[in-house]
């Protein structure tokens, strides 16, 4: 045991922290707790005032997350910092440079959207698509069952795996064309889907839009579906949001005839594909033009990166950035992945947490420098 600000600090093993979690959550509110996994330590401070809240940056149940949302968005129980001091230095550097140097790069599925919807696993933007032809839906499902295990195989070299992903996406896109996918089918698929944005996403986009900070949504899925999800679930567009994803080309009858530009799959989803970016509002029919072209985006050398997989960290590979702050959403299988996520991301949000932690983080990055 050591002391931190006159408080006892207990150094614990990672597994000990997990085992103690259930005990700690049962402690009364008169005990103030802080938990950090790298290295793993607990700080017990003296009893706070009656209006103080228990702080414990471990993971909790979904019901606890809901309670925290209601309580001024207190996410301390689902927030873990890899290196708090390093993160603070990065925040200070971004704040000093100002909003004009900042951009946000975000994954879509499982990052901007909830991992769980109504207590069940939510759908991905690719997974919701039903093209109105059962034969072709079954063919695409067969491709998924064959290639998906290969995508995460630890024994396949990256070069070979990249070729396999190109095959998978190419075959899937061909099936969508051959099966006669229509835009009406996309709208119907989204309307009946189990997909939802995390609480706080709209407020995050609005905060960034007010400050002319661009948001690039990177997805190996389909841009047209993502736009339809935004249209149906958010009911508005944002002039600062661009989508880097596979974009469809429809004929005058609304039938898919081809795909535009280069193929984007799960292993090449980074800023090298920036030329694929298209502002959301252009496709929503809004009158205002984009506030940032691709050249100006690349000049923004401070990055906030949002993802739910370790591979999402590669989304900024094509950008020559000065400071990158990475926020990871660890939605499931927490005990097996927490250590790796804490090493890779500056801050990790657990148990399908809402976006309010990122909103607070961005507000700190954009606060006035004294």
Catalytic residue annotation? 107, 109
Instruction: Please classify residue 71 by burial: count the beta carbons closer than 10 Å to its beta carbon, then call 0-12 exposed, 13-18 middle and 19+ buried.
Output: exposed
Pairing of strands 302-307, 102-107: parallel
Question: Cα dist. 22→16, 130, 151, 156, 215 in Å?
Answer: 11, 42, 35, 39, 38
CA dihedral 20, 23, 26, 29 (to 10 degrees): -50
Structure tokens at 236: 């508005």
Distance, in Å, from the CA atom of 77 to the CA atom of 79, rounded to the nearest integer, reads 6
Task: Choose among 244, 266, 264: nearest CA to 312.
Answer: 266
Contact 185, 140 (CB under 8 A): no
104 contacts: CB under 8 Å, gap ≥ 6: 208, 213, 214, 215, 216, 303, 304, 305, 306, 362
Query: Tell me, what DSSP letter sits at residue 72?
Result: T
Distance, in Å, from the CA atom of 108 to the CA atom of 241, rounded to the nearest integer, reads 12
User: What number of residues does the chain have?
Assistant: 370
275 contacts: CB under 8 Å, gap ≥ 6: 261, 262, 294
Instruction: Please classify residue 215 by burial: count the beta carbons closer than 10 Å to its beta carbon, then call 0-12 exposed, 13-18 middle and 19+ buried.
Output: buried
State CA 80 to chain mean position distance.
16
Backbone angles phi, psi at 244, to 5 degrees: -105, 95
Residue position matching structure tokens 């150094």: 11
Instruction: Please classify residue 142 by burial: count the beta carbons closer than 10 Å to its beta carbon, then call 0-12 exposed, 13-18 middle and 19+ buried.
Output: exposed
């Amino acid at each position: 045991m050591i002391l931190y600000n006159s408080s006892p600090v207990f150094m614990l093993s990672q597994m000990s922290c997990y085992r103690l979690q259930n005990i700690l959550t049962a402690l009364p509110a008169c005990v103030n707790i802080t938990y950090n996994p790298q290295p793993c330590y607990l700080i017990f401070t003296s009893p706070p005032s009656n209006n103080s809240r228990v702080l414990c940056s471990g993971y909790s149940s979904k019901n606890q997350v809901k309670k925290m949302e209601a309580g001024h968005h207190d996410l301390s129980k689902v927030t873990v910092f890899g290196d708090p001091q390093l993160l603070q230095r990065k925040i200070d550097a971004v704040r000093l440079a100002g909003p004009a140097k900042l951009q946000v790069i975000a994954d879509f599925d499982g990052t901007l959207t909830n991992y769980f919807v109504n207590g069940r696993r939510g759908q991905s933007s690719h997974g919701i698509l039903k093209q109105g032809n059962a034969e072709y839906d079954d063919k695409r499902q067969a491709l998924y069952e064959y290639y998906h295990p290969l995508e995460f195989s630890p024994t396949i070299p990256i070069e070979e795996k990249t070729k396999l992903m190109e095959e998978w996406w190419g075959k899937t896109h061909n099936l969508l064309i051959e099966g006669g996918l229509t835009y009406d089918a996309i709208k119907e698929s989204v309307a009946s889907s189990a997909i939802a944005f995390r609480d706080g996403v709209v407020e995050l986009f609005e905060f960034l839009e007010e400050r002319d900070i661009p948001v690039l949504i990177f997805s190996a899925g389909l841009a047209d579906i993502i736009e339809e999800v935004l249209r149906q679930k958010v009911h508005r567009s944002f002039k600062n949001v661009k989508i880097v994803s596979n974009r469809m080309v429809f004929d005058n009858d609304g039938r898919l005839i081809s795909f535009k530009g280069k193929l984007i799959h799960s292993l090449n989803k980074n800023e090298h594909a920036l030329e694929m970016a298209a502002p959301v509002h252009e496709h929503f029919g809004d009158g205002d033009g984009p506030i940032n072209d691709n050249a100006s985006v690349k000049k923004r050398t401070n990055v906030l990166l949002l993802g739910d997989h370790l591979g999402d960290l590669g989304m900024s590979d094509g950008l020559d950035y000065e400071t990158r702050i990475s926020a990871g959403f660890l939605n499931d299988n927490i005990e097996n992945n927490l250590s790796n996520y804490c090493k890779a991301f500056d801050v990790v949000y657990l148990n399908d947490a809402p976006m309010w932690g990122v909103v607070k983080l961005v507000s700190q990055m954009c606060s006035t420098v004294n």
